[in-house]
Amino acid sequence: MASIKKGDTVVVITGASEARGGDKGKTGTVLSVDKKTNRVIVDGLNLVTKHVRIVENARGVKDGGLVTEPAPIHISNVALVDPSTKKATRLGSKVETVTKNGKAKTVRTRIAKKSGKEI
């Protein structure tokens, strides 16, 4: 089960450091999660250059050439950022019973293990 979701802020915890040209220690927002391969695409991290054929769109603007876009990172190589400390943390869950309009409903919320705050 993937605990990281689209829109979460994550930090890269493995790989080459920023001094050596890598992304370790950098933070970004998750753009998409692939549950089948356990990979995430993070905005501005793990950038690769692709050669894309230059084509003209309907407005007459040419698109293509050398395009830089984020590549997938394995989900085990990123960690969620704690909202209060801005450092990597693990996830936990808290189950609460909420009464709304006379009906009791159980709600599961994600919390940061280090600070205990809701994510």
- As for how many domains the chain has, the answer is 2
pLDDT of residue 100: 86
Q: Is residue 102 part of a domain?
A: yes
Instruction: Concatenate the DSSP letters of all residues of the chain into one string.
Output: -----TT-EEEE-SSSBGGGT--BT-EEEEEEEETTTTEEEETTSSEEEEEEEEEE-TTS-EEEEEEEEEPPEEGGGEEEEPTTT-SEE-EEEEEEEEEETTEEEEEEEEEETTT--B-
Whether 57 and 13 share a structural domain: yes
Claim to verify: residue 23 and residue 65 sit in the same structural domain? yes
Is 94 part of a structural domain of the chain? Answer: yes
Distance CA 77, CA 38 (A): 10
State whether 73 and 115 are in the same domain.
Answer: no
CB-based burial of residue 104 (10 Å sphere; 0-12 exposed, 13-18 middle, 19+ buried)? exposed
Same domain, 72 and 99: no
Residue 18 sits in the same domain as residue 54:
yes
* Mean pLDDT for all residues in the chain: 92
Do 56 and 19 lie in a common domain?
yes
State whether 54 and 27 are in the same domain: yes
Per-residue pLDDT tens digits for 12-54: 999 999 889 899 999 999 999 999 999 999 999 999 999 999 9
**Range of the structural domain that residue 119 is part of:** 89-119
Q: Is residue 110 domain-shared with residue 64, that is, in the same domain?
A: no
CA–CA dist 119, 100 (Å, integer): 22
Reported as a single tens digit per residue, the pLDDT across 41-88 is: 999 999 999 999 998 888 888 888 999 999 999 999 999 999 899 999
